[in-house]
Amino acid sequence: MSVSGERDGVTPVALRGALALFTDATASPSGLTDQALADVAGRAVARRFGSSVPVLYARQRHGRLAYVYSSAEPLPAGPHLVGEGDVLITGEVGVVLTVRTADCLPIALAAPGVVAMVHAGWRGLAADVLDSALARLANEFGAGAASVEAAIGVGVGPCHYPVGAEVIDGLATVGGDGAWHADGRVDLAAWTVGRLRALGVGMGQVRVLPGCTACSPSYHSFRRDGATAGRQWSAIVLTDGLRHSTPDSAIRCT
């Protein structure tokens, strides 16, 4: 796993046979529809590989529903709404999976021959969306948790996440030792790392990008800005056989 420096608001992270992209507000303009934001993500991926790409996105519901895409025919370039869900999975090379966040965690997962993109707020994590995603990778692609690499993008940090008992109780039913603070704050990223490890993802196979959406004006944040907040897009694409056409070619996919 390797991480490149941020460029134009996009931070690329190379995973096994895949490329994940995480953004700040620079690369994710406010006021865009979900479809338009997916189109922005597709164009960012296309710049890296020199060709237009199909992009899948969903109506996010803070749950554990996962959508798996495969097809015998190539999908046309551009954004495609696949329905409701918070996990997108594919084994198709060159198909972009994207989620939108404004304090929730964007989580990219990659294993040999398959990738997933997860939208994870506390409700989804309490519903064990990570178990849902990893179970489908294992059951449908033979990709056990030990073969998975994960990258967790920037979400709200514990500095700005005091929560009520319902959040702690909900997360505690699934796991999360070490993610609680005595004053009622929760470290969602730390909780997520712990849950991934409990589900079998190996030590050293999880990367957490530093930062807090609510702290920094460089990020959209619902907690800070309320209903006017924009959304960051994050994406992953299976890259086996694709060749970079930009300076990001220095990123190794391992």
pLDDT for the residue 47: 94
As a whole number of angstroms, the distance between CA 229 and CA 171 comes to 25
Sheet strand arrangement including 105-111? 66-69, 87-90, 114-120, 105-111, 149-152, 206-208
Q: Is the pLDDT of residue 250 over 70?
A: no
What band does 32 get if pLDDT is binned at 50, 70 and 90? very high
- Distance of CA 191 to CAs 26, 178, 180, 186, Å? 28, 7, 8, 8
List pLDDT tens digits, range 124-163: 999 999 999 999 999 999 999 999 999 999 999 999 888 8
Residue 230 scores a pLDDT above 80: yes
In the 3-class helix/strand/coil scheme, how is 28-67 assigned residue by residue? CCCCCCHHHHHHHHHHHHHHHHCCCCEEEEEECCCCCCEE
177, pLDDT greater than 70: no
190 SS3 class: helix
Q: Enumerate domains of the chain plus CATH numbers.
A: 2-243 (3.60.140.10)
